[in-house]
Amino acid sequence: MTAFRALELLVLLAVLAGLVALLRHRNLFLKVLAMDVTSTAVISLFVLIAARDGLITPILQGHSPVVDPGVAAAYADPIPQAVILTAIVIGFSVQALLLLATTLLAHRDPTLDVAELDLPEPSGPGAGP
Amino acid sequence: MSLRPLHLLAAVVVALAPLLQALPPASANGALIAALSEQTRVPNLVSGVILHTRLYDTVAEVVVFTLASMGVVWMLSAERPQTSIQGLDDPAVLVLCRLGATVSALVAVELALRGHLSPGGGFAAGVSGGTALALLLIVRSRSGAAPPSAATARSVAADELVEKLAVLLFILLAFLSLEGLNLPEGSFGALESGGWIPILNALMAVKVTLGSWTMVQLFIRYRGLL
């Protein structure tokens, strides 16, 4: 097993940990946090793939934009790194909104139990707060 | 409702499936690096890709972030803020918070201004600046009684105005750049080189700083520190 495969296995285990936590927990708040674990693991998968072709940070040294293609082969791929930045920012935004929605929901049902939240609300006169 | 074996199996299959795939042969990306550095003309190729090659995508990303911070303000607008906030009062923690705020404010300026030359960029700078402002907020909320809500509402409104101006200016400059209007090149590796990239970086830093500060400030005001 190469080093890349070993690291990939570790990253995928982190994805699995997030997924299992997402399925296992009944609390909505913990489910949101488990989704964050999964997304962080996917981000590290992208970083790992970017570093597969070369390990040097893709920041050029020196005072000329011209690079010798032989030297440039040792740089990491900048495209996956730039692509995953979008996912980081969107993930942050979604996380903030989801946590806020969960907090507001906690006013109505402090346990935040998914099974209970799924139950239909009792309707009719005199029902509910 | 405990974890069913079938669910667990599905999670394992989905998560570990990539291990079974054969890897494509590692390609040498020398030609890619050379082409990108010719095209963007900044040393930090990731900044170049974000703010030049994939600029259109970044505009949408900035818009999504703005929508998120507007959404936080909107969702909290119906709530009643906390009347008093339980603050920190340990002197050592307060000194460390102030020190951390100073350091991350300096780091934010460095990352924003030199993001096209060294590791950094607008988003990283914005997160650093937002951290600085949040730490200051924690130090200031020590006094117990919350600041009058009119003052907070005013500061949030002013803050949102600046944030939206930064976003609009970013979109305007991005479309100028997409239309092919460019600033003079400058010499490679200088602070004022790379066309619009340094300006876009600085605007993005302002925007993300204020956006994350708005969110943290409202969270603390409405929910307290803990």
Q: Which domains does chain A have, with CATH numbers?
A: 3-57+74-118 (1.10.287)
Q: Among all residues of chain B, which has the CA nearest to that of A15?
A: B15
Q: What is the DSSP string of B3-38?
A: --HHHHHHHHHHHHGGGTSPPPPPPP-HHHHHHHHH
Question: The whole model's pTM is what?
Answer: 0.83
Whole-number Å distance between alpha carbons of A60 and A58: 6
**Banded pLDDT at A127 (limits 50, 70, 90):** very low
Provide the mean pLDDT of chain A. Answer: 85
Q: Quick one: pLDDT band at residue B147, thresholds 50, 70, 90?
A: low
CA B145 → CA A48, B82, B171, B203, distances in Å?
48, 9, 40, 35
User: Residue A75 is nearest to which of B12, B33, B215, comparing CB atoms?
Assistant: B33
Q: What is the mean pLDDT of chain B?
A: 84
For residues B99-109, give the mean pLDDT: 95
Contact B45 A78 (CB under 8 A): yes
Q: Is B196 exposed, middle or buried (0-12, 13-18, 19+ CB in 10 A)?
A: buried
Chain B residues with beta carbon closer than 8 angstroms to that of A26: 1
Q: What is the 3-state secondary structure (H, E, C) of chain A?
A: CCHHHHHHHHHHHHHHHHHHHHHHCCEHHHHHHHHHHHHHHHHHHHHHHHCCCCCECCECCCCCCCCCHHHHCCECCHHHHHHHHHHHHHHHHHHHHHHHHHHHHHHHCCCCEHHHHHCCCCCCCCCCC
pLDDT digits 0-9 by tens, A18-62: 999 999 888 999 999 999 999 999 999 999 988 887 888 888 887
Over residues B3-24, mean pLDDT: 86
Lowest-pLDDT range, A58-62, B117-121, B208-212? A58-62
Pick from B32, B188, B215: CB nearest A65: B188
Mean pLDDT, residues B136-156 taken together: 69
- What is the C-alpha to C-alpha distance for residues B141 and B75, in angstroms, rounded to an integer? 23
Which tokens sit at B50?
């974000």
Q: Is the pLDDT of residue B117 over 80?
A: yes
